[in-house]
Amino acid sequence: MTAIDLAAVLPGFDDPAYGSQAAFRAALQALSRPGTLVESERAAYSLCLALLDQDTRLWLSPSAQAFGASLRFHTGCLLVRGAAEADFIFAGNAKELPQLESLGLGTDEAPHRSATVILEVEELAAGGSWRLAGPGIPDEARLRVPALGTAFLEQWRANQRRFPRGVDLFVCSGARVCGLPRTTRIEAA
């Protein structure tokens, strides 16, 4: 077991109870209304703080390694080397996002055991070229994530065909988060 260097630890929530409740609320909101942008301070990091605990395994992409010490310290989560064995995936940018089918997809009996992906991108905006449809979206929602291209959309369609298995995705950018659950269909217009 590697020791934690306290010098590398970032502060956690100012108020652990309210902070994690707010982050959890943001996650709930984001997943139940896919395509809407939900405000949440330090979105990707606070989602991790709120969702991880001693029983969850986390995989960090190379550019997200800096969060390792903080998340180990605050949540007690386990860091794993292989993305396939992780419950949570934290990718620091879209290039480092592992192939979705290589992640934990759950089983037909326990689809909730699949991996949850938290992805940080530079730009995330409503009203782009992506047309989103599915549960939680009244007509259609428009989204713009320039970092994710057609290769991702192909993977996403495959992810959907596996239903009820499949991964759920949080796309974060600074203080905003957008949820893309496995039920959401994405078409590039």
Partner 1 sequence: MLQLVGSENPERREWLGVLSRAPLETLARWHAAASPPPWRWLRRPETGLAMVRGRAGGTGEQFNLGEMTLTRCALRLESGESGVAYIQGRSHRKAELAAVADALLQSRESQRVMEMLVVPLREFLKEQATAMQRKAQATRVEFFTLAREAAE
Q: Is 109 in the site for partner 1 (CB under 8 A)?
A: no
Token digits of residue 160: 């959907």
Neighbours of 6 (CB within 10 A): 8
Spatial distance between the Cα atoms of 66 and 4, rounded to a whole number of angstroms: 12
Q: Is 53 in the site for partner 1 (CB under 8 A)?
A: no
Binding part of the chain for partner 1, among 2-10, 58-66, 109-117, 122-130 by CB under 8 A, reads: 2-10
Q: Is 5 in the site for partner 1 (CB under 8 A)?
A: yes
Nearer to partner 1, 12 or 174 (CB): 12
Site string for partner 1, 10-39 (x = CB under 8 A): xxx-xxx-----------------------
Spatial distance between the Cα atoms of 73 and 12, rounded to a whole number of angstroms: 9
Contact footprint for partner 1 (CB under 8 A) = 1-7, 9-12, 14-16, 72-74, 76
